[in-house]
Amino acid sequence: MTAWCDVRLATQQLGGVLGPLAANAVLVASLAQVLGLDPGGSAPFAALLPLRIGGATEAPIAAATNAAVIVALAAACTYLFAALYGLRCRMLVHWLVFAAFGAPLAWLSIEMLARIRCDWIVAVLVAWNAGVGVAWAVVYRAEHANPSLATAALVVAITALAWPFLCLDELTLWTTLAGLAVWDVFAVTSSLGAFRLILNERQRRIWMAEDYELPAGLLFETDSGFSLGSGDFLLYAVLVGRSSMRGTSNAAAATLGLVAGHSITVFWSVAKPDGDSVPALPAALLLGMLLYFAVASFIAPALRASLPLDVVYA
């Protein structure tokens, strides 16, 4: 009976996040196509990497270095947030989260309007309203917005946050995703991990009935009580969106692996006797990348070689 209840709860929790995840992945994949991004790297973010990808010998070293810098920046920002949250710097924390959701969308709006030669005054006004409006709906949803509007705003904000990742060269991007999956394991499971420190402080404040919750938007919570970090949402969408730049079959393979890995994560979280948090990235990202590379490197070339030339494979 207990096992059946666990399966039923896990299914409910999985169903609660699949809709927003699918919408987010479609938007990110569409963004990559609209902007015409190059899998080898696109402006403006590819130029900001410490090392450029060169020949076959230097490429792995450059990609590993770039990925290490990105993961280190992500870790530093997370520890900074944990420190500010622990010190009860409420106003600063909220403004930082507000800027993190609003600024990328404003920048992306300017980029897209510039491509259609829009007047710069109009572009700035549209970008400002888009960034502020979406960030307000996400961060202050508990007081001012209904859950549906907040979820839609979160999906739009995460789509904009995915833009820098889509601009990375392919080797750096996949190395970065693998590095972030490893970081997620440490950050969630280790007593010194940044996410663990934040979650412990949050739980302590709940027990003490202190009125100082995490800013809305950092956690996506379903009606069944399952929580998924917005960073997990972001990287899930990046995986599918980047795979779509190499064709529909590659995107489908990555999506299948992602859903399978996320399902494993959900069932794992439900089956844990202590109800503790589990890292959401490793299983989903690694299975998604595994299927992507299997299709891109082996299955698709084999099909092209064996089937008639007049059949087109995406």
Residue 83 maps to a domain? yes
Residue 70 maps to a domain? yes
Distance CA 24, CA 2 (A): 33
pTM more than 0.75: yes
Count of Cβ atoms closer than 10 Å to residue 74 Cβ: 18
CA distances from 166 to 31, 125, 140, 245, 268 (A): 9, 26, 28, 9, 30
Q: Tens place of pLDDT for every residue, the chain, 314 residues?
A: 455 455 666 676 676 778 888 888 899 999 998 999 988 888 888 877 776 666 555 778 888 999 999 999 999 999 999 999 988 888 888 888 889 999 999 999 999 998 888 888 888 899 999 999 888 888 876 455 567 778 888 899 999 999 999 999 999 999 999 999 999 999 999 999 999 999 888 888 878 877 667 777 787 777 666 778 889 989 999 999 999 998 888 999 999 999 999 988 888 887 776 667 889 999 999 999 999 999 988 888 887 777 665 544 44
Residue 283 maps to a domain? yes
Residue 2 maps to a domain? no
Domain count, the chain: 1
Domain that holds residue 177: 19-301
Chain-centroid distance, C-alpha 207 = 30
Residue 116 maps to a domain? yes
Distance CA 14, CA 18 (A): 6
Residue 307 maps to a domain? no
Residue 12 maps to a domain? no
Count of Cβ atoms closer than 10 Å to residue 20 Cβ: 19
Residues contacting 47, CB < 8 A, separation 6+ = none
Chain-centroid distance, C-alpha 22 = 12
